Amino acid sequence: MRILVVTSRWPWPARRGDQLRAHQLLAALTEDHEVTLLAPATAGLPPPVSLAGSERYRPDPPPRHALAALRALGRGEPIQQSLFAAADLDRRCARLAPAADLVVLQLVRLAPCLRHLAGRPLLVDFIDCLSQNMERRAALDRLLWAPLLRAEARRLARAERRLLAASGCGVVVAERDRAALAALAGPELARRLEVIPLAVPPGPPPAPVTGGGQRLVLTGNLGYYPTREAALWFLAEVWPAVRAAHPDAELLLAGDRPPAVLRHAAGRAGARLSASPASLAEVFHGATLALAPMRAGSGVPVKVLEAWAAGVPVVASPEAAAGTTARPGEELAVAGSAAEWVTVIGRLLADPVARTRLAASGRARLVLDHAPAAVTAAWRRAVEQAARTD
């Protein structure tokens, strides 16, 4: 089958969730199909998979994005789409799509490509429910932004429904996102939705660490709102009490794109911040606990999967835990309020047996639900389902 895959980021190196997702999709399909990738002409590594073809489109300059945003608002379309619009993308999509047996679009931001697909069968990888993500952010962000974010959430919900209606199969990364999209799409369209998790193989068992203090780690894209907000909240509301009760404990924030406000907050709170670490294995080596205190967001918290893979026990917020298949208290510990976080962290710091059990259970859950072979098979089934719908 000839498949055209369209993404809004060049997938390699896979530093963000959508890049990792695109890599796994392409790796799953290139063995059996002729796959052409259409992605932005930005800096990146060569493809590590065997593509039949690869085209790089030129993103529009920022002034055009501003004009596109105004046009989108006038049409009731999401601003999100205008930020990734590109005339060169439209031209190349219109040229390549008619020859494809199937087109794959990644994320609702590429919905405008629909008009260039010439009626070809379509698979959409939503990854997550972005309208739900925006609603949750509106509940936490500054009052000035809240009504604007809620309006964008409504526009995104309409776009998500239209995109699902045009597809033969819609894919998300977690059950909570499938449920959210199903609720806004209705029962008929909901049948087209499938959950395909991220593939994350377990790493080698962690080597025992002796000596030194107890280290808490919070990893992820530190410039991404849910992670940034979570880190700032934790530094202000939880870390002072944990540090007072456990003077030998240290906190490490590690990830890409840390904003200045987070750097300053970490410095004031006595935490360390590592920007764009070369190796997550080094970050997790010797870690006592991994933290996922997100209060917003959607999809799967990759930081939880990475901690499971590294053999580090996880403490997560209810919102973060809901994006996983974990059983609270079994594969990860859950804490909601600041007081609960202080209590749960204190209990686990004092109980190495409980930490070992939690880490082992998390690792087992990862093997059960995120095995690469199972994820590859799921992608192949989704492609067949989408291709049958013409």
Whether residue 95 sits in one domain with residue 195: yes
Number of domains in the chain: 2
Same-domain check for residues 32 and 151: yes
Task: Name the nearest CA neighbour of 47 among 61, 74, 72, 29.
Answer: 29
Q: List, for residues 107-124, the tens digit of each pLDDT value.
A: 999 999 999 998 999 999
Q: Could you give the strand order of the β-sheet that contains 250-255, starting from the edge strand earlier in sequence? A: 272-275, 250-255, 215-219, 289-292, 314-316, 333-334
Whether 143 and 164 map to the same domain: the answer is yes
54, 108: one domain: yes
Position 208 scores a pLDDT of 67
Output the pLDDT for position 142.
79
Residue 45 lies inside a defined structural domain of this protein? yes
- Whether 204 is covered by a domain: the verdict is no
**Quick check: 30 and 12 in contact, CB under 8 A?**
no
Q: Do 115 and 149 fall into the same domain? A: yes
Q: What pLDDT digit, counting tens, does each position of 138-167 carry? A: 999 877 889 999 999 999 999 999 999 999
What pLDDT, in 10s, does the model give residues 46-61?
999 999 999 999 999 8
Same-domain pairing of 223 and 183:
no
Q: Is residue 61, in this structure, part of any structural domain at all?
A: yes
Could you tell me the CATH number of the domain that includes residue 298?
3.40.50.2000
In the prediction, which pLDDT does 190 show?
98
Residues 378, 341 share a domain: no
381/364 same-domain check: no
Same domain as 258, residue 362: yes
CA geometry: angle at 213 spanning 224 and 356, to 5°? Answer: 75
Same domain for 179 and 233?
Answer: no
Co-location of 119 and 220 in the same domain: no
Together in a domain, 259 and 169 = no
pLDDT 10s digits, 263-305: 999 999 999 999 999 999 999 999 999 999 999 999 999 999 9
Strands of the 169-172 sheet, one edge to the other: 53-57, 34-40, 2-6, 102-106, 122-127, 169-172, 193-195
Domain assignment present for residue 205? The answer is no
Domain that holds residue 172: 2-199+371-388
